[in-house]
């Protein structure tokens, strides 16, 4: 069986099948990393990384990315729930301002993700649409 070159798109993840083929070319067929990189149209540093990963871990799967760290906002959960209980229905910016008044600051998206994670999403667009609908004069019979 002959190896076919696979065109990779810059900025996109390379599939496991291509990774395994490149590693096999280096480790089983004795191909240089540079030659394997050219054959599979990937960077030499990628082939080097995959070979190292295979030698250390026995696989070429990529590491997980992002989202793995502890959330900075979670320790403030009780404080946020207390604020929401005292003033139900604030906007995300309103909640951010209330938190800032108590000495903790978070970005809009951090607060938004926290609310979503806890089933407390703000339905601003739906509420605005409902207000517009109710304010229109009714026509017809």
- pLDDT per residue, tens digit, the chain (141 aa), is 444 444 545 566 788 899 999 999 999 999 999 999 999 999 999 999 999 999 999 999 887 776 666 788 999 999 999 998 888 778 899 999 999 999 999 999 999 989 988 888 765 544 555 555 666 666 665
- The CA-atom distances, in angstroms, between 102 and each of 25, 39, 72, 77 are 59, 59, 15, 13
Contacts of 108 (CB under 8 A, 6+ apart): 92, 93, 96
- The CA-atom distances, in angstroms, between 61 and each of 20, 27, 92, 123 are 9, 17, 38, 39
Q: What pLDDT is stored for residue 5 in this prediction?
A: 46
What span, in angstroms and rounded, lies between the C-alpha atoms of 27 and 21? 10
Q: What pLDDT is stored for residue 118 in this prediction?
A: 86
What span, in angstroms and rounded, lies between the C-alpha atoms of 50 and 112? 37
Ordered DSSP codes for 22-37: HHHHHHTT---HHHHH
């Amino acid at each position: 069986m002959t190896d076919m070159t696979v065109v990779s798109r810059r900025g996109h993840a390379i599939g496991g099948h291509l990774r395994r083929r490149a590693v096999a070319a280096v480790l089983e067929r004795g191909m240089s990393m540079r030659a394997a990189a050219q054959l599979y149209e990937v960077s030499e540093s990628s082939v080097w990384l995959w070979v190292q990963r295979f030698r250390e871990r026995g696989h070429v799967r990529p590491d997980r990315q992002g989202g793995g760290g502890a959330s900075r906002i979670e320790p403030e959960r009780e404080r946020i729930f207390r604020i929401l209980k005292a003033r139900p229905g604030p906007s995300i910016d309103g909640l951010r301002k209330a938190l800032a008044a108590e000495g903790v600051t978070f970005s809009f998206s951090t607060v938004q993700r926290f609310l979503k994670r806890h089933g407390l999403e703000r339905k601003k667009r739906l509420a605005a649409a409902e207000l517009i609908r109710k304010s229109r004069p009714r026509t017809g019979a």
